[in-house]
Amino acid sequence: MKFEEALAYLEDVKYGHCKDFNNFKEVLALFKIKESDFKIIQIAGTNGKGTVGTFLSNFIEGSNKSIGHFISPHLVDYRERFKVNNKIISKESFINIVKKIKNTLADELKNKLTYFELSLIVALLVFKYEKVEYIILEAGIGGRYDITNIFSNNILSIITTIGYDHVNILGNSLEEIAYHKSGIIKPCSKVVSYSHTSIVDRLIEKEALEKHSNLSFLNKEDVKILNMNLNGSDFTYLSEEFHTSMIGKHQVYNICLALQAFLLLDIEYNMDVIREKINSIQFEGRMEKINYNPTVIVDGAHNDEGLEILNKNIEYLNIEDFILIVGSMNDKNIFNKLEKIISKAKIVIFTKIDYERAIEPEKIMNLVNLQKKQYIIINNIKEIKDFIVNNIKKEDLVLITGSLYLVGEIKKIFNYKNNNGDKYV
């Protein structure tokens, strides 16, 4: 089996969200995967799951503990979905796992699984064979009825920001969405949460109280941002000073939430190692610089909250007269928030992501108020790099946003590798 054949096997299933855990339980039993195999940490939230999970995983690995990290979606390589000690597994290991699944899992049962569920099975098998001690599971949609919530023994649950996304599944109010997110809280466990509006926090508190769980919130007053620019941020938290290459106030809060969560694990640690991890990690696809001269920044904001945060970062960093490149999905209603960002750009470029759910550039253009801005349509996303190289001045700044899938495609085109590099086990 070749790598591409392994990917094709995994992709040959239905997509979507399923509330019925029975098929998945049958597959877990088939592969003898037990929740007692791992110390489970689960993360739910509208935005910030990836950043919090990445930093927490690095804190755990930096403290000489083995860690598996399951994320979605991937940006460039499918194997990003299940890292072991913050490293991508080799193609050979990946192929061997998929071979085992194909040889063991009957087609009838496989066809009852969704793409997300099958990806989680791959991840759990990787973690089982690598004998990791801790695993971090990021919820796909919501939390309460997400397949990552199948286990009952989380040692820690983390709730990041709560905003409007997947409203067709989770509901149209923050209260309904918070109900789904807080469903990851397990009885008599530890929980740490971002601070939200009072009504959302009360719902989280109610869930924790009913399950006799120990809940704490990130206190933003404990966080002091000293300096922030396009090269990163300096801040203090818990009387310690840190630097991160991550851009944006929200990323500082995500890092602090990850650190607060890590401290709840009662793992012996060295603060100098933690400080170095915070300094060196660049989480992909969030205010990430992928090119210089001209500066190209990608941000995977794909919902109201994400675009609102992006707009605040643009204002805080005094970024203006930039070239904006936008691509999105048909099921995302980002256009009102997008107009705020368009108002600060000098040129807007609409493109189409190479994905079946992608929205046509002309449709985006018709759904937003262009405010008499100059605009261009580039239907073939592969032509964007050539356009930037040949038409954009070196002193200009290009901002690309609207979808994580768009960010992944752009990174492929630029053949960009972030500070973490390609790491294999």
Give ranges for CATH 3.90.190.20 in the chain.
288-414
pLDDT at residue 83 in the model: 97
H/E element holding 236?
strand 232-237
Q: Which pLDDT does position 218 carry in this prediction?
A: 96
Q: Where in the chain is the domain with CATH 3.40.1190.10?
A: 3-280
Cβ pair 219, 70 in contact under 8 A: no
Measured distance CA(95)–CA(347) in Å, rounded: 44
Give the relative orientation of helices 22-30 and 115-130 as an angle to the nearest 10 degrees. Answer: 30
The pLDDT value given to residue 422: 42
The CA distances from residue 111 to 12, 14, 15, 102, in Å, are: 8, 7, 11, 12
Q: Which residues of the chain have pLDDT under 50?
A: 418-425
Q: What is the pLDDT of residue 40?
A: 98
3-280 carries CATH number 3.40.50.720: no
**In this structure, are residues 82 and 69 in contact, taking their beta carbons and an 8 Å threshold?**
yes
Residue 196, pLDDT score = 87
Single out the residue of 329, 328, 327, 304 nearest to residue 46, CA to CA. Answer: 304
Helix axes 271-280, 249-264, angle to 10 degrees: 150
In the numeric block, which tokens belong to residue 405?
Answer: 């899938």
Structure confidence at residue 15 (pLDDT):
81
Tell me the longest C-alpha to C-alpha distance in the chain. Answer: 61
Listed in sequence order, the DSSP H helices in 285-383 are 304-316, 335-342, 361-367
The domain defined by 288-414 carries CATH number 3.30.70.580: no
- pTM, full prediction: 0.89
Q: Which residues contact 70 (CB under 8 A, 6 or more apart)?
A: 81, 82, 119, 120, 123, 124, 127, 135, 136, 137, 138, 148
